[in-house]
Structure 1
Amino acid sequence: MRTELRVVIIEDEAATARNLVYVLKTVDPDIQVLVSLASLSDAAHWFSLHPEGEYDLIFSDIRLNDGLSFELFTANTIPKPVIFVTAYHDHAIEAFRNNGIDYILKPFDTDEISRALAKYHTLLNISHRSNSASYGNVQRQLQQGIIRFKRSFLIHHRDRLIPVETTQLQWFYTSHDVVHACTSSGMQYIIPFTLEQLEDQLDPDQFFRANRQCIVNRHSIGSVEYFFNGRLLLKLLPPPPETILVSKARAMLFRKWMDQ
């Protein structure tokens, strides 16, 4: 017997939310959209009143008017899978660390939504066959088998190619559109990637995007200090060329990343 799929939408643009409902119903008329939530506060309140057994799947934007939706999944126990639908391409790794099973860029179309729903059903079938205790365990196993992170860089330096293990790189810093990487011994090299490209290549358990200019290795962090307006000041070793601050919006994600 077929079970009706119960969906929750988190989207602060009313027109986009309506379009998503229309596309979902086009793909599968039996889908039940339980609610469309327009803010983090509305979503937090709704999930606090509805246990996980009352819904199956979440479609969520990332940048909402009152913050990033990752804050919701970080601060609350929401074990259900999420399909992220966003206009920004630079949050993919964080999405898969926050219950994400797919990452769709706006404007989306029917085929993309259909493929994402197919992926959900595939994961659900794997979970049932494996008798897994939770969807999260299956998701993590799949990600470990699919996602491969960069283990080393072959760096061009003074007419030589130097292999450097990724774990030896303590931070990546961009200045005037040039990305510099620093090793534990203090050697600095120019890396032919943007920080956005590096985010997709680096293990998110090991590296964190502190701000627009810097990605840090957890082993480079000597201490963390509270700064003005809820920001965090990172003391890195070796020291970078400028002060590294984590914004108030990302401070919660950073603390959770460090405390694992």
Structure 2
Amino acid sequence: MDLRTVNVTRYILPLREGGSLPALTDADDGFKYVLKFKGAGQREKALIAELIGGEIARLLGFKVPELVFAFLDPAFGRSEGDEEIQDLLKSSQGQNLALHFLSGAINYDALAMEVDPLLASKIVWLDMLITNVDRTFRNTNMLMWNRELWLIDHGASLLFHHAWTNWEKSATKSFPIIQNHVLLPRASQLDEANESFKKLLSPEKIKEVVSLIPEEWLLASGDGEDAEALRDVYQEYLHLRFSYADQFTKEAQDARAALI
């Protein structure tokens, strides 16, 4: 498992207001990307969550835009007139993360678009696994592109790594935020999703995903001085969380029953 690296050549425009300010950019491979900056919001931890969440989703068979490492040259953005954006570019020099831009895609609208119950159940299961607080009616983080549903924006996942203590307890505790999931009302096949994914997601696959995290991202937060030890925690957390799949599947079923 590997990710390509591209060099960002042009900042086109910010995609939405807010602290993270992801941007539409051009890269030297001729494609457009949605760039997630390591200098924004939750900094490198958001990129780690984006990387792990997106690549686990891909392993499980979901449609996810290609993720690439995106390099920002130190000279990039010096001519940017907006001071906030210029500061963001300066603090994001080096290796960032970007998603391939799906031109013409539209945001998923729960009121206007139906999702197959099994697919809905699988997405809820994924978000329980990675403790994704997004994918709500307010912020669905899904796109319709070429008549297919694509998953984006997993940077709000892996809540445990923002505190980093008692990660074993975090892996097995309840996740009541799932009651706000936009697809929970349609997720009537959670048992089927659980049984399917337990056959697909092996410890070896989890290790492959975690091995993609750049060392500099792991060390940037100051949570430790040994990148491999920190990488091991991510791997062990996901193993433990995965072993808890039957329990969190039941939790999602109970949350759904309370809604309908």
Higher-Rg structure is: 1
Band of TM-score, shorter chain = under 0.3
Structure with greater strand share of residues: 1
Bigger RCO of structures 1 and 2 (CA < 8 A, at least 6 apart): 2
Structure with greater helix share of residues: 2
